[in-house]
Structure 1
Amino acid sequence: MSYGIEIEKKYLVKDDSWRGLAEGILYRQGYLSSGQGPTVRVRLVGEAGYLTIKGRSSDFSSHEFEYEIPPEEANALLETLATSSIIEKFRHKIDYDGFTWEVDEFLGENLGLIMAEIELEAEDQDFPLPAWIGEEVTGDGRYYNASLARNPYTNWSEG
């Protein structure tokens, strides 16, 4: 189990210069509860299963409780209790100047969306931006995974 406050910022990725910096791992995740109140997520990361409970406390900080569960149970929860679309993505963990960036390349109904996240120790912590980082979307709720499960990227209208 892990518990703590997660402080993260989200950015769009503006080009492909990050490719080749790290291997991707397939993530499959779904939501048992999202929207008002805590979010409950089930996730398969490669062959490992996780159950996560998150509460939102500001634009980029949240309380998070995460528990490892058997992958068979995670898969069963995804297949039977997920309340919206299953998110599938390849996550690439890239070390850059003392920080780890997680670049998510979405598949399926979110194909075409590539985002990068960085976890910080404090909300006002300074950090360097790699050249491939684009627009910050931290405060834009459309880019939260729970929102992408309900309203996939490929459904967004242009403009």
Structure 2
Amino acid sequence: MAIEIERKFLLNNQHWREQVSRSTRIAQGYLNAEPSRTVRVRVKGDSGFITIKGKNEGISRVEFEYEIPAADALELLKLCPNVLDKTRHLVNIDGHTFEIDEFHGLNNGLIVAEIELASENASYPQPDWLGPEVSGDVRYYNSALSEKPFSSW
């Protein structure tokens, strides 16, 4: 069983942009967005993925992700009520990777950074651009943003 341990943050400034190693456009939708389990479909660049996640236990939850044909992912996205559009920027610092999601469309203006950790109490870099932690705030879950976009807050 795969466990995802992830912290999520708002950003203090734009200094992270100088450290981006790669950026990829992502279309992402939810076939199921129940708090106890989510089923996500994603097209990331030229690849498709389906991901099943369990309920959050603190900052941890089970996660299973599988690559699927991009054509299948595009068809599955048509079954999703609201598809998120975002650009994911990767920033590597001291052996850790921050995934910075810059949202478009109805979530335009929202930028969050995520970092996956080996354990809940693992240390991680804290660059000056890393702002307040929002890991436990459900409004910032991608599944929640697909139902109640940032522009409606």
TM superposition score category, shorter chain reference:
over 0.9
**Do residues 113 (structure 1) and 84 (structure 2) align?**
no
Closer, same or farther: CA 46–123 of 1 in aligned 2, 3 Å: same
What per-residue deviation string (whole Å, max 9, x for no partner) do you get for residues 14-62 of structure 1? 1111113223100100000012431000000001000000002412101
Partner of 1:68: 67
- The AA in structure 2 aligned to 1:143 is Y
Contact 2:87–2:101 (Cα < 8 Å) also in 1: yes
- The AA in structure 2 aligned to 1:4 is A
Partner of 2:47: 48
1:11-90 correspondence to structure 2 within 5 Å: 11-22=9-20, 23-79=22-78, 81-82=79-80, 84-90=81-87
Residue 4 of structure 2, aligned match among 3, 6, 15: 6
RMSD: 1.0
Give the unaligned 5+ runs of structure 2.
none
Contact 2:4–2:116 (Cα < 8 Å) also in 1: yes
Count of aligned residue pairs for this structure pair: 152
- The AA in structure 1 aligned to 2:71 is E
Contact 2:85–2:104 (Cα < 8 Å) also in 1: yes
Partner-residue secondary structure (3-state), 2:144: helix
What per-residue deviation string (whole Å, max 9, x for no partner) do you get for residues 60-103 of structure 1? 10100111100000000101x11x31111100111012211000
Partner-residue secondary structure (3-state), 1:34: strand
TM-score calculated relative to the size of structure 1: 0.92
- The AA in structure 2 aligned to 1:8 is E
Partner-residue secondary structure (3-state), 1:59: coil
Moved over 6 A (4+): none
CA distance in structure 1 between the aligned counterparts of 2:114 and 2:18, rounded to whole angstroms: 18
1:88-127 correspondence to structure 2 within 5 Å: 88-127=85-124
CA distance in structure 2 between the aligned counterparts of 1:36 and 1:105, rounded to whole angstroms: 23
Identity %: 47
Give the unaligned 5+ runs of structure 1.
none
